[in-house]
């Protein structure tokens, strides 16, 4: 039997590189998916099984509505993967008010509102014995803030701090908060920043292997996936499908 059979999982940012691959692997593990991003056409093009719900993460009302719509799909919600994010490159002195506001709206505030809105549903899942979780991807920059990524690093560090504190609060009701912090991964995020342009970057981690590690952490009941949990050594990663 698949390890996540009976779980309804919302993947936010499912059209992005890590969101798409995590959703695919969760589906293979037996989960029922709710797929969300800004563009419903991009979600439909993924060809993944699941219910599509478009959402603008910069709109707090839409973020809260996303949770109620996701719960309505099967009547329960057992996990949320927040794989959405935006990045801005360049020196801190070049940042504008709008760029800072958008970085924090998408990378920090939206996950906070998602967890707040989902508290009741995830608590009900715990009461039903289904081990609910809320997973964020703050990434390596939350551990090691990076020059020319100052505001992005700050938005992700704030997300990691929120998850750490909220996880301590929610442990008592059976909700597991997980933060994943892989290093630079070969996705398209750096190719469409909201400001600036990416410098030359080293070859990143394999997104299939990164997502396999994330899904393994979900299934195995882990509560933290630091940067050291992600490695380039294929022998230490779960086997990935071609």
* pLDDT recorded at residue 234: 44
pLDDT of residue 55: 97
Enumerate the domain spans of the chain: 8-78+98-147+155-166+183-230
> Span 8-78+98-147+155-166+183-230: which CATH code?
3.40.50.720
Contact 55, 12 (CB under 8 A): yes
The pLDDT score that the predictor gives to residue 240 is: 37
What pLDDT is attached to residue 91? 96
Determine the pLDDT at residue 232: 66
HEC secondary structure over 164-233: HHHHHHHHHHCCEEEEECCCCECCCHHHCCCECCCCCCCCCECHHHHHHHHHHHHHHCCCEECHHHCCCC
Cβ atoms of 106 and 58 closer than 8 Å: yes
**Residues labelled as active-site residues:** 152
pLDDT of residue 201: 87
Per-position DSSP letters for 132-144, written without gaps between them = -EEEEE--GGGTS
Residue of 24, 81, 10, 22 whose CA lies nearest to 211: 22
Contact 145, 154 (CB under 8 A): yes
Q: What is the pLDDT of residue 2?
A: 72
pLDDT tens-digit profile, the chain (242 residues): 479 999 999 999 999 999 999 999 999 999 999 999 999 999 999 999 999 999 999 999 999 999 999 999 999 999 999 999 999 999 999 999 999 999 999 999 999 999 999 999 999 999 999 999 999 999 999 999 999 999 999 999 999 999 999 999 999 999 999 999 999 999 999 999 999 999 888 899 999 999 999 999 999 999 999 999 998 654 444 443 32
């Amino acid at each position: 039997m698949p390890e996540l059979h009976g779980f309804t999982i919302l993947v936010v940012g499912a059209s992005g590189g890590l969101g798409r691959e995590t959703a695919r692997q969760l589906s293979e593990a037996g989960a029922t998916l709710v797929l969300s991003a800004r563009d419903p056409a991009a979600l439909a093009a993924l060809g993944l099984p699941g219910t599509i719900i478009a959402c603008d993460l910069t709109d707090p009302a839409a973020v809260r509505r996303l949770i109620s719509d996701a719960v309505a799909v099967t009547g329960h919600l057992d996990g949320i993967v927040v794989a959405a994010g935006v990045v801005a490159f360049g020196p801190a002195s070049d940042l504008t008010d709008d760029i800072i506001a958008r970085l924090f709206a998408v990378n920090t505030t939206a996950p906070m509102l998602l967890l707040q809105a989902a508290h009741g549903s995830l608590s009900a899942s715990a009461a039903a014995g289904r081990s609910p979780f809320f997973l964020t991807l703050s990434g390596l920059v939350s551990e090691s803030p990076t020059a020319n990524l100052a505001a992005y690093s700050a938005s992700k560090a704030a997300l990691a701090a929120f998850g750490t504190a909220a996880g301590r609060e929610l442990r008592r009701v059976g909700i597991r908060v997980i933060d994943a912090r892989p290093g630079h991964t070969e996705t398209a995020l750096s190719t469409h920043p909201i400001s600036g342009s990416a410098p030359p970057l080293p070859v990143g981690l394999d997104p299939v292997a990164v997502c396999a590690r994330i899904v393994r952490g979900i299934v195995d009941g882990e509560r933290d996936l630091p940067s050291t949990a992600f490695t380039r050594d294929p022998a230490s990663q779960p086997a990935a499908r071609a």
